[in-house]
Amino acid sequence: MHNAPKPKLEDLPTKAQLRRSSIIAGIGAVAIGVMVYMPAELGQDPTGVGRILGLTEMGVIKQQLAAEAAADEPLHGVDETSSLMNGIFGLFVGAAYAQEAWQDEITFTLQPGEYTEIKATMEEGATLFYAWTSNGGRVNFDLHAHSGGQDVTYEKGRGQTEGEGNFETPFAGDHGWFWRNRDDQAVTVILQLRGDYSTIVRDE
């Protein structure tokens, strides 16, 4: 059996080095708590990093599930034997849902006869997923793009109240919708988007 050599005094970290390492570790722990734990567990995202990583949506879902469970507890009690499995299952379901979460949600209101255009700036070969609903009435729309002498029409509709789907761009440019309210009352449209785009452009 061999004894480990006794470390030399000059090889040991100084108090200043230990203090600096402790400060760095503390800052790292706070950063992880703010950028990862708060979005993933509490649905709070003060830095915006959680939204980029898809953690904020997961945290919001978990908070909603916790609130629903608390509301149901007086009626059904708490099954402690399954709480751990439910928590693990909820984590995986929440993570999978967060990966499919919408990047942007745009809400706008059109008065009778009003119109607007909302488009996403995309490169050639990019894909956009979308879903929209019209509340209060129906709308006409034209999902299209034109740039550099090229044009494409993906979909058209008249008197519609909802739609969803996806498309792949044949060329770079602004791809999106022309909306018009042909009803006799105001309508509110909620548009959700996810995909490979850089900016959202709206023309009124």
One-character DSSP codes across 67-105: HHHHHHHHHH---HHHHHHHHHHHHHHHHHHHHT--SEE
Unique residue bearing structure tokens 């709206």: 202
pTM: 0.52
> Considering only CA atoms, which of 130, 118, 115 is closest in space to residue 175?
118
> Considering only CA atoms, which of 148, 136, 134 is closest in space to residue 177?
134
Does 35 have pLDDT greater than 80?
Answer: no
Q: What's the first-to-final CA gap in the chain, in angstroms?
A: 83
* C-alpha neighbours within 13 Å on the C-beta side of residue 84: 1
CATH 2.60.120.680 positions along the chain are: 104-203
Does 74 have pLDDT greater than 60?
Answer: no
User: What pLDDT score does 5 carry?
Assistant: 61
Reported as a single tens digit per residue, the pLDDT across 129-181 is 999 999 999 999 999 999 999 999 999 999 999 999 999 999 999 999 999 99
User: What pLDDT score does 184 carry?
Assistant: 92
User: What pLDDT score does 98 carry?
Assistant: 42
Query: What fold is seen in the domain 104-203?
Result: Jelly Rolls (2.60.120)
Does 80 have pLDDT greater than 60?
Answer: no
Q: Return d(Cα 53, Cα 40) in angstroms, integer.
A: 10
> Considering only CA atoms, which of 133, 119, 134 is closest in space to residue 195?
119
